Amino acid sequence: MSWLWSVRTPSHIAKSEHVRCRLVNRRTWTLLTSVVLVVAFGLLGAFAPVPFVALGPGPTYDTLGLEGDHPVIGVEGHETYPTAGHLNMTTVSVTDQLSLFGALGLWVSGRYALAPRDVYFPPNKSEQQIEQENTEAFNDSQTTAETAALRFLGYPHKVLIGQIIKGSPADGTLEPGDRLLNANGKPVTDAASLKAALAGTKPGDRVEIRYQRADQPEQVANVQLGRNDQPGGDQSQGFLGVGATERPDVPFEIKISLAEVGGPSAGLMFTLAIIDKLTPGALNGGKFVAGTGEIDPAGNVGPIGGIPFKMIKAKEAGATTFLVPAENCAEAKSQAPDGLQLARVANLVDATKAMEALRANQAPAAC
């Protein structure tokens, strides 16, 4: 009888155990590496910022209502009339410091869009500078709204010096805030009339500028015009170096109180609210109207950004009609929420006609 024996010597046993340990170690390291990568990706996705911001629906404010304990638009020194309904200005929210997962979550929700961060936070400007610029633009929109509204209602206005270019002929003679009365023998009644008064002059010509500083008596300055070396400037025409701006010349004060809002796009709605408060009857017929748009002193309505988000918030707040700047109509029509009536406005006349239609329970001119 023969037997087949398998004999495992201590050296064989050691070699087998070594192979087994090596396989276990390799699997362990592979597993650990995978776990580390997953954790690292999770941490990056959750905390590492991406170079994008999320744009979405922002707050909406009734310009006929209150902000805290104060009216959004207050008038001191002049009779005001009761209002009804809503004239809501709309905003866009900008969410910064997004993580990868946060950005994807907002985008997937369908209420937000992602945009390059540099567009809204240029790398050559600090966040404080950007905030200051937005605040100034908002303040300018308030001033312009007041001018446009009172001009539309027939109140007198005055022309003031805004910016003075450093080193220009006006620098050191005139000051920002001076009221311009006459230039080169011609009355200054608006910004265009100042430009027209200097037409036909040439560098080196002397012109008289009549102006008033604060409550002082009228003054006369004899200014030698220079050459316009500004980009795009007409070097053949005499150059004064001032920017003219229009302001209402009225014995009462309009104050707009709305904090933590930036940008110029509330101008149209502020203008309509001022008109509503200074005239009898409800301008909007008691309807819930929202809208957006820049406005200039002459009442022209300019385009804005983010209109899809503004329409979403307006509809959610209860608006039935939305005033759309004419140049935004194509974009607005393609993305308007169901049930929100769009009214096309190119200027303040269009906007007041839209209000007239609503008072008569008719549809305003549409996009």
Bridge pairing between strands 321-325 and 341-345 = parallel
**Torsion angle, alpha carbons of 283, 295, 252, 190, to 10:** -130
End-to-end CA distance of the chain: 106
Structure tokens at 179: 């009221």
H-only helix segments in 48-178: 100-109, 117-120, 127-152
What Å distances lie between residue 96 and 131, 144, 171, 235, 312, CA to CA?
A: 13, 30, 41, 45, 21
Angle ∠(309,315,320) on CA atoms, nearest 5: 130
Closest CA to 287 of 367, 362, 365: 362
Closest CA to 247 of 188, 186, 292, 174: 188
Three-state SS at 359: helix
Catalytic residue among 141, 168, 277, 310: 310
Question: Is residue 310 annotated as a catalytic residue, yes or no?
Answer: yes
Question: Is residue 202 annotated as a catalytic residue, yes or no?
Answer: no
Rounded Cα distance, 201 and 197, in Å: 9
Rounded Cα distance, 13 and 15, in Å: 5
Q: Identify residue 67 by its one-letter amino acid code.
A: E
Residues 6+ apart with CB under 8 A from 259: 67
Catalytic residue among 168, 265, 287, 315: 265
Q: Identify residue 122 by its one-letter amino acid code.
A: P
Give catalytic residues, as residue numbers. 265, 310
